[in-house]
A = this chain, B = another copy of it.
């Protein structure tokens, strides 16, 4: 029965790992139970919190799942521009926290992966050391690397992952770009990225970015993807931990466009355009320092119901989102995908 993703799951659908709040064990379990590959987001939490989530997920399903981990970012040479940004937030009446750097508990998280052995591990924000990849593979974990450009495809292929996750420009939340300081030229549309990758590497390609409907999935499968990864499509599912204010914004007629911003985290990420994003067009590239500094601002905004100062991460297709149970959504996506493939034009 399993055919996709290293013959682990029956359907070519991957749940995007969604850090912060949306990516709950319940959501991952629902997608895995429905025949896709559920994913936990290892980012923003301690290794022990991740271990607890893995345990909770395993209580809910014995199907395969994946865990995503952020590759630590280099500490900046100087914190001056970061301090200036934080000071500007305080002057504007916000109450920022300290712009501390951290490695997202990297070593302990690798230890948790070695102990817990999820079937699939993916990395974002650059390449982990090759020996880390090899060590996980030696323990029978499959390693997926996230890439956003043709050059990143080449660099990732050189460290022998089992698959690549191609993150198109359309994708919600953080860009997986290896180098956050390169702006426009680093952003590639999903179809163009897929076309570039399929002639460069022979390993499975997982397409992500803006995919909301089974017809979108059919398109990327025909374009050369082995599977499709969807995040925003699941944000309104009841199993997702999406903050109520975020959930309401996804469904609001006043939410028109998304854009890419560093305002919330110091790393480029796509979300629904809101006040904080517009107020801060020139945030320095400094992740996770800015992310740590804005956390109290974002949390307080969430508590007050102020959608204008939260990070409303969403991909470009968010307006097509559906408030369905995750398992039912997987089934609907597959029905739509099959119909699109069956209805493909017969060209003479």
* A interface, CB within 8 angstroms of B: 3, 10-12, 149-151, 168-170, 183-192, 194-196, 198-199, 209-213, 215-216, 218-224, 256-260, 273, 315-317, 319-320, 334, 337-338, 340-341, 344-348
Contact = CB atoms under 8 A, between A and B. Distances in A.
Q: Which residue of A170, A221, A224 has the most chain B CB atoms within 10 A of its CB atom? A: A170
Q: Which residue of A169, A183, A256, A273 has the most chain B CB atoms within 10 A of its CB atom? A: A169
B192 A210 contact: yes
22 contacts: A10-B348, A12-B347, A150-B319, A169-B189, A170-B192, A184-B259, A185-B257, A191-B191, A192-B209, A192-B210, A192-B315, A194-B219, A195-B215, A196-B320, A199-B320, A215-B222, A218-B222, A219-B222, A219-B223, A337-B347, A341-B345, A344-B344
A166 B212 CA distance: 18
A149 B348 CA distance: 32
A341 B220 CA distance: 12
B184 A170 contact: no
A221 B12 contact: no
A196 B340 CA distance: 16
A170 B196 contact: no
A209 B189 contact: yes
Contacts of A260: 184
B347 A338 contact: yes
Q: How many copies does the complex hold?
A: 2
A209 B3 CA distance: 32
A150 B319 CA distance: 10
A256 B151 contact: yes
A255 B347 CA distance: 35
A233 to B, nearest CB: 11
A195 B221 contact: no
A167 to B, nearest CB: 11
A317 B215 contact: no
B213 A195 contact: yes
B344 A185 contact: no
Contacts of A338: 347
A204 to B, nearest CB: 12
B10 A317 contact: no
A195 B224 contact: no
Contact of A216 (B195, B259, B334, B341): B195
A345 B214 CA distance: 14
Given A150-B319, A169-B187, A222-B341, 4 more contacts: A170-B192, A196-B320, A222-B344, A341-B347
Nearest to A337: B347
A222 B320 contact: no
A77 B212 CA distance: 41
A148 B273 CA distance: 18
A178 B62 CA distance: 51
Contacts of A220: 191, 219
Q: Which residue of A221, A222, A338 has the most chain B CB atoms within 10 A of its CB atom? A: A222
Contacts of A11: 347
A300 to B, nearest CB: 26
